[in-house]
């Protein structure tokens, strides 16, 4: 650890140089400090250590209870880098401490420029590259948004409706969160068309406008401002255009992290706002020419998946994507179906602020695949490949279906993955195995009914009528080593169930039958013992060795219909001699 003479330190912290003194400057300094030592130092008068302590509290609220060491990298004219763990970004938590642009730094060891950001999206060469890159410079404005924000430099930003298509615009991809957010509604639409005061805009929106202007682009699209938020009709129309909006943008700005701030006070009592942010490792080794690997909270957000897939390029680094409409001409229908299932599985790993957005937030991708698959879309599934589309399930390597949030309102028919918030996966099959997949049931009729203007968005109902082998089994829920569900039939080996969500048994007194039925759990319900008869439907068999099936229950809500509870695989003998029956799943 570097040391200084007692006279140079003069009652300053033993861990750092006198960073406030203009008379003493050091080119660079790397310090390794123990959390416990920092706590002890904060009891003294060192304002620098107190600032670091405040920063850590914003980033890691429980840091005082940990016994770790952290590294500080200080260099004149640059921001302070604070790392916990190995200095390699991908292996550690790395944070940057800096002051806002245009603010005078409180000492020479901290800068008003965020150097690490400048190496990536904020670098001059990044802007130059976006403007000059010929391979992706031309955007495809097949579906211009109904509204854009005019960010011309000579006036306040204002909401406008482009007179013609083909205008160049930038799109912002961001996470709304649950806090207050500036948005357009019927009451302020006229005022926003006249102008939006700069100080009324959140910092993120200000940054997006600054970037758009620097790129020399006149228009910016932000969903919360360009869609009338209290108009369901307008929201449905615009959400149906998402594929064209992101595909047609000149570039998409992706906001992947937040910035916190702390107050620093110098010896004269003057305060300065110091900002702190986590450094997100979006980029692998540039020498390997690998694509960007965006990370951060928005990458766990459901809406962002289609924004990332559909945009022609984003400002993580140039990520040129071929137009999705070329899928059918480039690869086989089977490969397109596989890509679809992969995207669905990735999508279910992500979170939604509003549960009703499950299908709308994926509708842009669905619209592009509709052209490639040439099939009818049924609440997240494709009619022409419906037997294989039904083979989705929860998996042991994913988040437990029992802990997934449960819906309070109808969102999709139970045979669709969109009916639950469970993380799901499709059955992994090689091309050979897929070719040997034999349907066990016949699809008689399937349909869903969109509830609005977006044909790939919210649905009000859905029905699937099939004819296939159906047998009764006893579902047993046990909690010996883990909370599990299994199926039992006399003389046969029990079979594990991959539940769609938490399952509970219910007996209703107001029905003609006193039989107990299993159903999907509701919010607030917990795992409990079950021993109840359910019905098992064979969907497809694999090479005459095993069968994929669905666990069904008779619906309490729609008489004569069934609802899906889960998925299972079993030996073919389970359905040996089983009669085929017609049934309707809702």
Rg (C-alpha) for the chain, rounded Å, is: 29
530 dihedral zone (left: phi>0; alpha: psi -120 to 50; beta): beta
Whats the size of the chain, residue-wise? 586
Q: At what angle do helices 333-347 and 302-310 cross, to 10 degrees?
A: 140
**Per-residue pLDDT band at 58 (split at 50, 70, 90):** confident
The DSSP output letter for 583 is: E
Q: Which residues pair with 547 in a beta bridge?
A: 541, 570
The C-alpha atoms of residue 255 and residue 247 are separated, in whole angstroms, by: 18
Q: Which residues pair with 380 in a beta bridge?
A: none
pLDDT tens by residue, 134-188: 555 455 555 678 999 999 988 899 999 987 667 899 999 887 765 567 899 999 9
Strands 219-221 and 169-173: parallel
Q: Are 173 and 304 in contact (CB under 8 A)?
A: yes
Instruction: State residue 315's pLDDT score.
Output: 41
Percent of the chain at pLDDT > 90 equals 40
Say if residue 559's pLDDT is above 70.
Answer: yes
* pTM (predicted TM-score): 0.70
pLDDT: is 19 or 97 the higher one?
A: 97
Q: Are 535 and 469 in contact (CB under 8 A)?
A: no
Instruction: State residue 378's pLDDT score.
Output: 97
Q: How is the chain split into domains, by residue range? A: 28-116+258-279, 124-256+297-318, 333-585
Per-residue buried b or exposed e for 78-98, using 16+ beta carbons within 10 Å of the residue's own CB: bbbbbbbeeeebeebebbbbb
The C-alpha atoms of residue 229 and residue 222 are separated, in whole angstroms, by: 12
Which whole-number Å values give the CA distances from 511 to 36, 555, 556, 559, in the listed order? 65, 12, 9, 11
pLDDT tens by residue, 276-310: 777 765 544 444 444 445 555 555 677 777 777 77
The C-alpha atoms of residue 549 and residue 8 are separated, in whole angstroms, by: 77
Q: What's the whole-number average pLDDT of the chain?
A: 79
pLDDT tens by residue, 35-47: 888 888 777 777 7
The C-alpha atoms of residue 266 and residue 45 are separated, in whole angstroms, by: 11
Q: Which residues pair with 487 in a beta bridge?
A: 475, 495
Count CB-CB contacts under 10 A for residue 65: 8
Which of these, 528, 548, 511, 406, lies nearest to 476 by C-alpha position?
528
pLDDT tens by residue, 225-261: 999 999 989 988 888 888 788 888 888 887 765 555 5
Q: Which residues pair with 290 in a beta bridge?
A: none
Measured in whole angstroms, the distance separating CA 266 from the mean position of its chain's CA atoms is 41
**Per-residue pLDDT band at 431 (split at 50, 70, 90):** confident
Q: Which residues pair with 532 in a beta bridge?
A: 475
Listed in order, strand segments (DSSP E) in 52-208 are 69-75, 80-84, 93-98, 148-150, 158-160, 169-173
**Per-residue pLDDT band at 326 (split at 50, 70, 90):** very low
Percent of the chain at pLDDT > 70 equals 73
Which whole-number Å values give the CA distances from 129 to 178, 231, 249, 315, in the listed order? 35, 39, 16, 10
Instruction: State residue 391's pLDDT score.
Output: 97
Strands 530-542 and 546-554: antiparallel
Identify the weakest region by mean pLDDT among 68-77, 86-95, 403-412: 86-95
Say if residue 115's pLDDT is above 90.
Answer: no
The DSSP output letter for 384 is: G
Query: Given 3-state DSSP classes, what are the helix, strand and coil percentages for the chain, each rounded to the nearest 5?
Result: 25, 25, 45
Identify the weakest region by mean pLDDT among 109-123, 415-429, 534-548: 109-123
Coil, strand or helix at 405: coil
Which of these, 95, 100, 77, lies nearest to 85 by C-alpha position?
95
pLDDT tens by residue, 445-456: 999 999 988 999
**Per-residue pLDDT band at 357 (split at 50, 70, 90):** very high
Say if residue 90's pLDDT is above 70.
Answer: no
Judged on CB neighbours under 10 Å (0-12, 13-18, 19+), 352 is: middle
Say if residue 34's pLDDT is above 70.
Answer: yes
Average pLDDT over residues 513-532: 87
């Amino acid at each position: 650890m570097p040391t200084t003479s007692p006279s140079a330190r003069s009652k300053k912290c033993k861990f750092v140089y006198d960073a406030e003194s203009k008379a003493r400057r050091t080119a660079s300094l790397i310090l390794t400090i123990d959390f416990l030592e920092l706590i002890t130092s904060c009891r003294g008068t060192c304002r620098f250590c107190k600032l670091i302590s405040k920063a850590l509290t914003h980033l890691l609220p429980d840091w005082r209870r940990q016994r770790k060491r952290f590294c500080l990298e200080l260099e004149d004219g640059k921001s302070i880098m604070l790392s916990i763990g190995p200095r390699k970004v991908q292996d550690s938590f790395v944070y940057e401490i800096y002051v806002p642009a245009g603010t005078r730094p409180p000492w020479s060891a901290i800068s008003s420029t965020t150097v690490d950001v400048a190496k990536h999206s904020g670098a001059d060469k990044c802007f130059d590259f976006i403007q000059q890159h010929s391979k992706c410079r031309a955007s495809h404005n097949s579906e211009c948004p109904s509204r854009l924000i005019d960010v011309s430099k000579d006036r306040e930003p204002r909401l406008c409706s482009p007179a013609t298509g083909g205008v160049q615009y930038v799109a912002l991809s961001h996470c709304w969160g649950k806090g207050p957010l500036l948005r357009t509604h019927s009451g302020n639409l006229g005022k926003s068309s006249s102008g939006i005061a700069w100080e009324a805009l959140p910092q993120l929106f200000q940054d997006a406008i600054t970037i758009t202007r620097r790129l020399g682009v006149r228009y910016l699209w932000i969903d919360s401002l360009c869609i009338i938020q209290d108009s369901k009709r307008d929201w449905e129309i615009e959400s149906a255009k998402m594929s064209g909006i992101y595909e047609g943008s000149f570039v998409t700005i992706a906001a992947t992290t937040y910035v916190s701030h702390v107050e620093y006070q110098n010896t004269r009592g003057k305060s300065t706002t110091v900002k702190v942010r986590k450094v997100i490792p979006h980029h692998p080794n540039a020498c390997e020419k690998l694509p960007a690997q965006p990370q951060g909270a928005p990458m766990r957000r459901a809406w962002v998946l289609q924004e990332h897939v559909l945009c022609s390029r984003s400002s993580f680094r140039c990520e040129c994507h071929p137009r999705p409409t070329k899928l059918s001409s480039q690869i086989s229908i089977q490969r397109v179906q596989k890509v679809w299932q992969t995207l669905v599985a990735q999508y279910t790993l992500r979170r939604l602020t509003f549960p009703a957005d499950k299908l709308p937030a994926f509708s842009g991708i669905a619209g592009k695949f509709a052209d490639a698959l040439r099939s009818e879309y049924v609440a997240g599934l494709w009619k022409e490949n419906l037997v294989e589309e039904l083979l989705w399930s929860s998996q042991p390597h994913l988040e437990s279906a029992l802990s997934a949030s449960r819906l309070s309102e109808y969102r999709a028919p139970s045979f669709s993955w969109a009916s639950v918030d469970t993380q799901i996966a499709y059955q992994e099959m090689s091309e050979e195995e897929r070719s040997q997949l034999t349907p066990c049931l016949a699809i008689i009729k399937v349909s869903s009914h969109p509830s609005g203007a977006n044909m790939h968005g919210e649905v009000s109902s859905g029905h699937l009528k099939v004819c296939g082998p159906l047998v009764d089994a006893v579902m047993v829920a046990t909690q010996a080593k883990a909370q599990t569900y299994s199926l039992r039939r006399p003389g046969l080996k029990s079979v594990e169930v991959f539940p769609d969500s938490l399952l509970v048994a219910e007996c209703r007194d107001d029905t003609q039958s006193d039989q107990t039925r299993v159903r999907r759990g509701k919010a607030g319900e917990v795992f409990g013992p079950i021993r109840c008869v359910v019905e098992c439907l064979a969907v497809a068999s694999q090479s005459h060795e095993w069968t994929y099936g669905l666990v069904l229950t008779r619906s309490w809500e729609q008489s004569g219909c069934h609802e899906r509870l889960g998925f299972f695989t079993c030996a073919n003998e389970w359905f040996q001699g089983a009669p085929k029956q017609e049934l309707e799943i809702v």
